Structure 1
Amino acid sequence: MILPRHLSAELLDALSYSRVINIVGARQVGKTTLVRDILQHGRFISLDDDALLEAIEDDPWGQLQRLVGELKDGPLVIDEAQRSGKLSLAIKRIVDLGDQMGQFVLTGSSNIFTTLHVADSLAGRILTLKLWPMTVAETMSRGPSKILDWAISKSPDLNDLPAPETATRADYVDLVLSGGFPGIRDLDNRRRQKVYFDYVDTVVDRDVSDIVRIRKSDALRRLLDQLAIRTGSELNISLLCKLIGVQRNTVEQYLDVLIRLSLVVKLGAWTSGEARREIKNAKYHFADTGIAAALRNLTPRSFDPDADPKALGGLLESFVFSELLRSAPYQDNGFRFYHWRDQRGREVDILAESANDMAAIEVKASSSVSRQDFRHLEWFAGEGPGKTRKVTSIVFYFGEEKLGFGERRYALPVSCLWGATRK
């Protein structure tokens, strides 16, 4: 059964006002399935066909002219577009000749319109849509979460949120381990780990080469292992260089590639201008916790009470962040994401900023919550750099009660991330 994706409505709408729709997302995230399910007309080609890829590389302008000329209705859909280094300029030439909306739909694991010249010349005529792994709401055939809009509303009311769902710690652990990749998330843990390992091998051996040639694929795999251990943490690049055995510029290049392939997300540090007091290091999150958990060989038993009590912390933070990130395009307000930390150790796990409004978010892998858990959030909003903003403080936790801890301070079950859906 094909589960509906939240991006479907946006894709259909984009066909009416954009010349080129460019759908970017990690391998096996569901891009091809989405397009085939939504588009009833047009022509579908895939650059996985080596003969077709070779023909386009030899004569991109002529081949695209021929394919477009053969169209009777609908767009030309080009799957695995990132495999061609000459496609973007040829598409630009064709788009320059007409004014047809929805003429091209591209899918790929990386964005082919990254060169400054092509991006600038197609400004206003190309729309890039990001398809992430599935949110929990999507796996339940529910609408997008609206919790960020709720957080920055004039007077957030707990009664406006749906009743939290009953979920145990084991239920949350299962969601973290499963991840959101269609066709993988429903496998049992042993098979899922094997598939995710094979998935990473394919990305390293094939997708990376579509972006850049690397000489040390084993070093890239070691970097992925280290990122899985450190997901949700600030990175010490110098330490990574020693652990992996490569130079700093190589690590930075590899990080950039993993970001472009949508495997890793860089969460920048929010700064107020008090440069001497604030830490500016970025955090790095695995875009999907299922892959991170598999690379660490984690199983449900890894999170037993007598196991490592810190094993879940970073993964849960990445899980919450990924749910918020994936729901952001469907809010009525635009959001940018950051984290914040100062030199005294005060920190905010996730900051969601919309103009002068902010949601300051702490993630806690516990079924209980107290005012003490708000201490950094309270300082940030009341005495710290957030005091000039309208800040709503939220602690996500494993409990089942929605709780208020004073003005614009709330403790919410993690399940609110897929309960607060669009009406």
Structure 2
Amino acid sequence: MPIDVKIPALGESISSGVLSAWKVSEGTYVEIDQPIYELETDKITQEGLAEVAGVISFLAKEGDEVEIGATIANIDESADNPNSSASVPKPQAQEPVVEVPATTTVAPPESMDAPSPSLPSQDESDPKVDDSIPAPLPLSPAVRKILAETDIDPTTISGTGKDGRITKADVLAAKSAEPSPSVAAPSTPVSPPKAAPVTPASVDSRSTRRPLSPIRRKIASRLVEAQQTAAILSTFNEVDLSAIMALRKKHQDSFVKQNGVKLGFMSFFVKGVVHALRAVPQINARMEGNELVENHYFDIGVAVGTKKGLVVPVLRDCDQLGFAEIEQSIVQYAEKARTGGITLQDMQGGCFTITNGGIYGSLLSTPIINPPQSGILGMHSIQERPVAVNGEVVIRPMMYTALSYDHRVVDGKEAVTFLVKLKEAMEDPARLALGI
């Protein structure tokens, strides 16, 4: 009996998603725990695994929006024998005996025209049967059903599935291709200068229209929500990164050898943010109705850009993590984000966010806070600029930093103090070790 492939529950706030990709072909044999589809929701992109082994038949197509709990495919556990015959060509000659009912249901396109003559001329038709046998044998039940309903000869279809198998999409494409000659016929006489269809085609070629992905829709709604529900204000400062760059240059090789990751700038800024939040705890807070909730933990979100949108995995208890642990966590989250393996648990919570537009070349920006958090730090590109130090003009690697905050929770004095504390820690990293 076919087993239903259903969309599992992914979280209380997720009710649907878009079937962004099938990772297997229609009618192929799948193994247990093999990734078979990719579901894109408004928060994450999740892979679906096969719970049983068998031949899969699709009930939904790529791009469909499906509800949680919806059945999108069936897996026929009993169809493993036909599948094994498809993967090993030699035993195919024995399978027709077992699959006689299947071949007789697929054969009607030839026998319907003259049912009775086909029996006496069996010796003459044997070569034809031998030629057609390889096509029907690998067919899934869903494909055989469509072939029977559409009366399409499977020998006229070139399969695009594994080992040349005919998929459901191949049959549907063949069916849709049938009326095309009749449509093309009237278009040929109208080929004189009145070829007006060229005009809309040229207009369409100037732009592409496609629906927003669930993640992009969620990002859009969250940004609008943040602007409408919080009094966002930004303040700026600049940081001299000479000391951090000297530390990295001096200890980079030993750090990589011992920890397997590079010592980057982000770990310094994460520790610097924790240092500044301790000095200004008002920013480590959020509004809930008429109450102000102050956090006594330091879960810092680090924004990671992906092809499908921005995700913000959270580094837990950063006050207890070392530089190596922070760098390792960032690398792991970045890889999970790129491969679509990031989960809701990875992004839930968080009391403050850091976003680094500098990796894209941004010189200055005003980031938007991530509700219900009250603050977000924007890092930017590092540029060598002339600055005055002890009455002399020197060239230093400088970075502009931006703090956007909810002015309902945080006053300007507190926001400026936060950036000053961060600046002091970045320009004198010993403060991070000494806690001063």
TM-score, structure 2 as length reference: 0.21
Q: Which has the larger radius of gyration?
A: 2
TM-score, structure 1 as length reference: 0.21
- Structure ranking higher in strand proportion: 2
Higher relative contact order (CA 8 A, sep 6+): 1
